[in-house]
Structure 1
Amino acid sequence: MGTHVIKMPDIGEGIAEVELSQWHVKVGDMVVEDQVLADVMTDKAMVDIPSPVHGKVIALGGVPGEVMAVGSILISIEVEGAGNVKESAAPAAAPVKEAPAVTAPKVEPVVESKPVAAAPRPAAVCQGPMVAREANERPLASPAVRKHALDLGIQLRLVRGSGPAGRVLHEDLDAYLAQGQSNASSVSSAYIQRNDEEQIPVIGMRRKIAQRMQDATQRAAHFSYVEEIDVTAVEELRAHLNEKHGATRGKLTLLPFLVRAMVVALRDFPQINARYDDEAQVITRLGAVHVGIATQADIGLMVPVVRHAETRSLWDSAAEIARLATAARNGKASRDELSGSSITLTSLGALGGIVSTPVLNLPEVSIVGVNKIVERPMVIKGQIVVRKMMNLSSSFDHRVVDGMDAALFIQAIRGLLEQPATLFME
């Protein structure tokens, strides 16, 4: 038997260290070739580390949340044959020691403390088990008893009455208190006292999101602009296209129309389709429109990129958005699919609220946020009519984008969506 050591691979892009996000195996597990051993997080994406051999795990080189240098020992596996480690360096009979943290302290595992039980009360005479009445049932009790119960914070419907016809007496309140909190919790868990705590290490994707959001708010000069848009016409067009072509081409959401409106509007505002390298003090304006689509996945917020949106039809954009969103939610989006955007579109769909203040996805200088569609009475040509209205809540980097340009850009999107035929005019 020998030992096969797997080192943290060089993932490319000049990365010198990566974060160990999650183990899929533990010491003592048998693994097979191509089985995923661990997930590691780079600045851009989650990467699976597969096993190149069959064997038994004998040592792990780090803990989730640890930042490890490329080339450091990730895992040691006992294999048939000589392995890739000389006997003198790592005898097969002795387990390989775990590698220490390289640049970050180890993160303690999540620990959830149990609720602290209430101290027992002195023994007292109990009038019997508590009775849970219906919420609308008024228990019999004198005004004095009701006031006493109110002062004590007791719900009378939970107290067993020992008086005539089940009337609640002062003695019943005392007995209820003597029964302690354990009986109360068995009847109404909504009022149970809790003292448990949970510590959640900020690691993996959540750490990257936190770092990027903090970096964006500290480095960019954010300002937001909100505009109200009448989307009645574009929603009617969307419904018509879905009815006519949905069965053969797929259903359209509003997002492909928004992507198209951004593409057309950006022709007149190239400074908004840009990236800003604040260290080199260089603004790069792009002719291609690579639209990042903010997508909520189980591991956190991800931004897959619809590349060359300027070349795509509505259905092509819709299919690509759906494909990328599925890949991101399943953790299958590649690094290339998660990088290179020039402007981001973010939407919470039906939960989009009225107004939001989206955070820039650096090094981009703009992000367009979509709020929910609501029907509201509007005055058009002196008549009150019901229209479908939606807000765009967008943010810009004021170091690069002037307020007037940002407002005109969003106004251009508004005009295109309110007159959707203009989306396709050249």
Structure 2
Amino acid sequence: MKKFNKLKQPRNLIVFLAIILFISITTFSTLVLANQNTIKVDASVVNIRTGPGLSYDIMTQVVGGEKINIIKEENEWYKIRLSNDQIGWVASWLIGNTEFSAASNKLGTISAESANIRSEGNLDATILGKATKGTELTVLFQQNNWTQIQYNGQVAWVSSDLIEITAEKKSIIPIVYSPKTNEDTSIEILTVRSEGTNIRSGPSVNESVLFKASKGDNLTYISTEGEWYKIKNSKGQTGYVANWVVDLSGNQTAAPSANISSLSEATIVIDAGHGGEDPGAPASSYNEKQATLKTAMALSSRLKQAGVNVILTRNSDDFVSLNDRAYISNQASADAFISIHYDSTEIPNEISGTTTYYYHENDKNLAETINKQLQINNPLPNNGTRFGDYYVLRENTRPSVLLELGYLNNTVDQATIYTDSYQAFAVESIYQALNNYFSS
């Protein structure tokens, strides 16, 4: 019996020591793994997004020195847990670099006479096009002496030596909002411009929608908070409405509309030419009314992403009279009216390219700004800016232009117009031009 105990005791000791060793190794491994899954942010500010891509909304930001826990990695994006247990995504390559997102509205201006726009951030990457000196582009972020930009509806790169970060537009996704509240005694009644106008719980486009107001509704003014009005409707409901979607009315001394200093503050009317019983210029594939609607809808989506209040004269294959188109613009007090068209001639292949028309002399600046942007990397010829005696321009009291974006009975134009790349080019050119117009 004693012999058995002498043999058992060393075995128990060995087992005990093995258990201790296992626990120590496990604890050490856990600590190492924890350290491996924790990263420190070196950049001054990094955006945390709701999903693994730059197209996802920004949910918050972290500053330099903050530690974040990595849950997993997906396509060079980290799914992370913040100190407050929020779950979000951050680009792995931004931890030590500076990011400028579309939501923070950073602008860059080409400083060289000509700059190659590339598909990736290196000299071996495909050249997507060229940008001339003075061209303004939305900047996404910078890394290793390369700047990522938005270019003709896609993500592209330009050498950081050839672009200067020149301006910051008004953010449409405020991180912190603490507006100064005041009351303007000259305002009594606000009149809603458009059907289905959102009345929100707070003075921001990020606040929830409490209810919607109809076109022509009169709202009682309570106070002003930044660029928002606190209001009360006829049912006694209170909320906030943006100052760019209402008119000051109901009293004899109404103040003028707020000055527009950025595109995100503007009301833009997009007019898809023709429609319904009016097909416009015929083509072998589809009529002008279909081409204009496709472009108008894409432009509307692009502008709305930037926080712009967009009004469409039509969003389906409906007939809208020329008088109604001008009326919609005038009634909405639009900051710009853009009429989209595609042309044709009696003789096929006689003319090619884009043309920008204006009627009122005051609208010439808007026309020239848009036409200048349409000249950059346009796969079709650019025919310049011209006076055009069109009803929707002549009877329009708001800044207005009519764009002919190509000829449907020109073989080359037709083959180009129908491509997604040309649609993206046209939309991005108009967007950038409007951004330049209101920024200046």
TM-score by length of 2: 0.24
TM-score by length of 1: 0.25
Relative contact order, higher structure (CA 8 A, sep 6+): 1
- The structure whose residues are more often strand, as a share, is 2
